Every structure is written in C-alpha cells, then in structure tokens.
Amino acid sequence: MDKKASVIIPTYHSWQDLQLCLDLLAAQTTPASDFEIIVANNAVSDDVPDDFRLPPNARVIQEPKPGSYAARNAGIRAAGTDLLFFTDADCRPRPDYIAHGLKAFEAHPNVMRFAGAVELEAAGQVWTVAERVDRMMSLKQEHYATQGRAATANVFARRAAFEMVGLFDDTALSGGDMEWARRCMAQGVEQLYVPEVIVGHPARASMEAHVIKRRRILGAQIRNADPKKRWKYYIPRFKRFLLPSFGAMRIAFREPDISVSERFQMWLFLNKLRRVSAKEQMRLTWFKGKYERR
C-alpha cells in the first residue's frame, strides 16, 4: 500500500528524546502502513544506539551539513510522499496527530501549509520557575499562526509549497522556520492553523537550558544580520547589566494563579537571562567569539 504521508524529524545527539517521540508515533490511531517516518541524523559521528527501537515504518538517514534545517531538507528529499509532517525529536505527538493532520489535508485541498498546536508540559505536577518562564515565552504557536508563521515543532505542508518557495535555508542554525514562512507569505502561500493537530513539548526546566537557547538564537541573529545593520550588535546594552527589566515584570505578573513571591522569582529569572544575552552579545562581537552550536 502506498504511504499517504511522511513525518520528518531532525535529531542531534537526542536519541533518548527521539525514542519517546517514535514510540508515540508508533502508537498513532493511523495505521503505520499509511505513513513513513524519516529521522535525519545531523550528528553523523553519533551512531544509532544498539538498543534503539526503530518502528517498522521508520528509517534513519544522515545529513552531515550542520543545522536542523539542513537535516529537514534531507528529509524532504528522501520522503516518498507529497504530504509532509515536521516535528522535533523532543516533541510528543498526541495519538491522533497524524489522523487530524490527514483530515486537514483532505478538507482543505487548496491549502499548502498548516500549523498545529504545541502544548508545553512540566516535568512534574508542579511547574518550576524555569518551566513557567518557558511556557510564557516559547513556542506560542497559535500567536505565530496569526502572523502566518509557525515553529517546525508542528508544521505540516504539501511538497508543492517547497517547490514553489524553495526548501528551508540550510545555512540557518536557528529561525529557519520563520524565514521560510516569510518567503511563503511573500509568495502568497497561505497557512491554516489546525489546533486539533497537537504535539507536546517539555518546558525548559533549568537556567542552563534557557541560556543555551538564548545563545543559540542570539548567535543566529548576529550571523544572519544584514551586514549594513550588523553594527548595531556592537553597541553594548549596559542597561541590561545595570537596570531591571520592567517589561519582564509585566510578563511575570501576567502569569495566572501563582503567588507574588513566585512572580518575583520569575522576574529575577528573566533579568538574569537579560544579563546572559548582553554578555553573549559582547562575546560574539567585541571579542570575536565563536558561534557554538548546542
């Protein structure tokens, strides 16, 4: 039987997270015979673990060019169908993820790209400060969709969309999903938000995890900045070292159902992240630091 769809998942030293994602894809309400799974390994020196459980409808391909968008492009080229689902190794597709996605494709034959919902999840029953900050500030898929954008944690599209606007920017190490969305909008490729297509995503549970993300995004912003405007990144933002952020306070005080003490903890957390960003900006510009992929 011909497959109806392909699920493309980039991975980079993330076999443990990927195992859970694949187990959830193996438990879909849609029969495994209806879709294929393509794992694009972006760390080619990192072999598949011996005890790794690969579903029968899944295969691993290698993409040596650094970056998840290069890996996604490799998955697109390897896919044997015209209906493409994109998610990440640390995502947790709900049991009807594929079923609802296929239903959306069928119900909207003239729509070429779709965004599904991303639900952040805490590691335990109580949300930590770090997790609350991530829930407030990350993966706002419904908001992105109002702007015609979407995070590739949960995007599904027809191959025709890529044939029209091109593949992801394979030089991007961050933000390539939003850049592709901008090209789509510029060429009139509209997007439909489908909240029934859901993946879970673990909230970042530590300061270290937030710092890694901040450094990755800032490094990509500087690397991809228009050369005529890159000089702005060389201007130190001393207020980030010296002054608290009242914008961060507004964010913290919008969080419902927590105590005043917890709000101030979130505010302090966000201010520390501001200082991290300022230091990283100086490292990459003034001191010609190397952009580090994490």
206-238 tens-digit pLDDT: 888 888 887 877 777 777 677 787 778 777 665
Please give the single-letter amino acid code of residue 47. Answer: D
* CA-CA-CA-CA dihedral for 218, 219, 223, 225, to nearest 10: 0
- Asked if residue 249 has pLDDT above 60, the reply is yes
Do residues 66 and 146 share a domain?
yes
Do residues 164 and 225 share a domain?
no
**Domain end point (choices 202, 228, 252):** 202
- Asked if residue 240 has pLDDT above 70, the reply is no
Average pLDDT, the chain: 90
Task: Determine the pLDDT at residue 271.
Answer: 84
- Asked if residue 72 has pLDDT above 80, the reply is yes
- Asked if residue 85 has pLDDT above 70, the reply is yes
Share of the chain above pLDDT 90, in %: 62
- Asked if residue 36 has pLDDT above 80, the reply is yes
Q: Does the residue 31 lie in any domain?
A: yes
Beta strands in the chain (DSSP E): 5-11, 35-41, 58-62, 83-86, 92-93, 113-121, 155-158, 191-202
Domain count, the chain: 2
Q: Does the residue 292 lie in any domain?
A: no
Do residues 46 and 67 share a domain?
yes
Banded pLDDT at 272 (limits 50, 70, 90)? confident
**Domain end point (choices 164, 181, 202):** 202
Render pLDDT for 178-211 as a digit per residue (tens, 0 to 9). Answer: 999 999 999 999 999 999 999 999 999 888 888 8
Which of helix, strand or coil describes residue 3? coil
Do residues 16 and 106 share a domain?
yes
Do residues 64 and 93 share a domain?
yes
Banded pLDDT at 114 (limits 50, 70, 90)? very high
Task: Determine the pLDDT at residue 278.
Answer: 80
The residue that leads in pLDDT, 254 or 12, is: 12
Of the ranges 22-31, 128-137, 283-292, which is most confident?
Answer: 22-31
Do residues 63 and 80 share a domain?
yes
Do residues 132 and 228 share a domain?
no
List the one residue out of 126, 120, 124 whose CA is nearest residue 262.
126
Q: Does the residue 86 lie in any domain?
A: yes
Q: Does the residue 230 lie in any domain?
A: yes
Q: Does the residue 290 lie in any domain?
A: no
Q: Does the residue 291 lie in any domain?
A: no
CA distances from 164 to 77, 179, 183, 217 (A): 15, 15, 10, 27
List the one residue out of 109, 80, 102 whose CA is nearest residue 1.
80
Q: Does the residue 124 lie in any domain?
A: yes
CATH number for the domain spanning 26: value is 3.90.550.10
Do residues 62 and 192 share a domain?
yes
Do residues 85 and 198 share a domain?
yes
| Average pLDDT over every residue of 64-88 | 97
Burial of 141 (0-12, 13-18, 19+ CB in 10 A): buried
Task: Determine the pLDDT at residue 47.
Answer: 86
Task: Determine the pLDDT at residue 151.
Answer: 96
**Domain end point (choices 202, 233, 261):** 202
Banded pLDDT at 102 (limits 50, 70, 90)? very high
| Domain, as residue range, for 266 | 207-285
Do residues 216 and 273 share a domain?
yes
The upper half-sphere exposure of residue 268, i.e. CA atoms within 13 Å in the direction of its Cβ, equals: 7
Task: Determine the pLDDT at residue 239.
Answer: 59
Do residues 142 and 247 share a domain?
no
Do residues 34 and 92 share a domain?
yes
- Asked if residue 90 has pLDDT above 90, the reply is yes
Task: Determine the pLDDT at residue 294.
Answer: 53
